[in-house]
Amino acid sequence: MDQPTKRVPHYVQIRKYVNDQIQQLKWREGDRLPSENELAAQFGVSRITVKNALDSLVQEGIIYRIQGKGSFVSVSGGEPALYRKEEPASHPLVAYITPVLNNSFTALLLSGIEEELSQHGHKVVFSKSDGCLIKEKQLIQEALELGVRGILIFPADGEKYNEEIVQLSMSDFPIVLIDRDLPGLSMHCVCSDHEGGAYAATKHLIELGHTSVAYLSASPPFTSSMEERLAGYEKALVDSGMPIFHHHRAKVVSPQDIVDFLEANPDITAVFAENSGVGQAVLEAAKQLGLSVPERLSVAFFDDIEFPNLHVTTPTVVVQQERLIGKESAKLLLKVMDDPRQPKQKVLLPTELLKRQSTAAPLHSVKS
């Protein structure tokens, strides 16, 4: 019985097409190849797939590129001397795209990435997307035009994501996500154990004797890392035999939202906040309402604050290993660049709960 014909990947088809045109002398030395967009339309694939196929031919010396002009058939001995770049000591480039760089978390993350990549002879091209999907897409395209060997990306928050990220991964271009993955898709990813960290913080509050623990967030819905933190909070409640009250969960936009929430739910004795921004706003709201921390309201949150020991009440927080996340992301990308077709990996790094002064047993459970 005949075996079914195995499908030839588009990447291979494009390589073979270019090689055939050259070998059959349809394209001669110095001839300009069709543009990436033209080849993408011809084969019905993304521009990224075409770029990856042409990149491999450049590395083999079959074709060469001139920035702003296109790809050309190599002459004997390689590309013309006029366009040959004399950069024997140049380092391969890796792009790192992140929403912001405005706190110690993102700074330490970048530090870990740069440290690991520099040890292996790579340079980092850093860009900020400002959390904007349109700008993130533009930065990905610019990185590809620069000829980067791989991309590290901290995706923008929210339910939607750039199709370029998926296309790059499906075409085996080396790309690693940081801090969060894309639900329902298999991607290389390095992130903290968000669920485990939220579980530990919520469990700590419950073990202190709190039976009404709220969860406050500010991130757009369907951001995977924040969804995992919510899951950890709910799992701690369930494992402790406590009901999940949806009115104990709220998305807040402004400090006044937190004040309104606490006033509307006087039974709340503890709050777990999804990040340090919300956590600090909860502390301010408690102060405004005259709720002493931790006597009247215990507060814990994800990520530490700057100089915690300078605060009157040092906060209980879940801390991440920022520098290690950066280093492990870079390590994984280096492996993927060596073998782009290896199985997708998700590296999960543990968090740590730092128990400080902002959490304590509720007043009603303290024995006189």
Residue 82 belongs to some domain of the structure: no
Which two structure tokens, joined as six digits, stand for 238? 């369930």
Domain that residue 264 falls in: 194-320+353-365
Q: Does residue 57 belong to any structural domain of this protein?
A: yes
Matching residue, tokens 């349109």: 134
pLDDT digits (tens, 9 = 90+) for 65-93: 776 678 888 865 444 444 444 444 367 89
Does 141 share its domain with 17?
no
- 317's enclosing H/E stretch is strand 316-319
The total domain count for the chain is: 3
Instruction: Report pTM.
Output: 0.76
316 shares a domain with 240 = yes
Statement to judge: residues 188 and 224 lie in one domain:
no
CA 177 from centroid of its chain's CA atoms:
4
pLDDT tens, per residue, the chain with 368 residues: 455 445 677 888 899 999 999 889 899 888 889 998 899 899 988 888 888 888 888 887 888 877 667 888 886 544 444 444 444 436 789 999 999 998 889 999 999 999 999 999 999 999 999 999 999 999 998 998 888 999 999 998 876 777 888 888 888 899 999 998 887 788 999 999 999 999 999 999 999 999 999 999 998 877 888 999 999 999 999 999 999 999 999 999 999 999 999 999 999 999 999 999 999 999 999 999 999 999 999 999 999 998 888 888 999 999 999 999 999 999 999 999 999 889 999 999 999 999 999 999 998 754 44
Please tell me whether residues 180 and 221 are part of one structural domain: no
Residue 86 lies in a domain: no
Regarding whether 255 and 115 lie in a shared domain, the answer is no
Q: For residue 300, is it within any domain?
A: yes
Residue 267 maps to a domain: yes
Is the same domain home to 128 and 186?
A: yes
Has residue 159 been placed in a domain? yes
Alpha helices in the chain, H assignment, sequence order:
10-23, 36-43, 47-59, 104-119, 133-145, 163-170, 194-207, 224-239, 255-264, 276-289, 322-338
Q: Does 144 share its domain with 25?
A: no
Same-domain status, 122 and 232: no
Residue 175 resides in a domain: yes
Whether residue 186 is found in the same domain as residue 234:
no
Is 80 inside any structural domain?
Answer: no
- CATH number, domain with residue 223: 3.40.50.2300
Same domain, 58 and 101: no
CATH of the domain at 61: 1.10.10.10
Give CA torsion, residues 18, 23, 27, 28, to 10 deg. Answer: 130
CA 328 to chain centre: 13
Same domain? For 132 and 243 the reply is no
Rounded to the nearest integer, the mean pLDDT of the chain is 89
Co-location of 107 and 142 in the same domain? yes
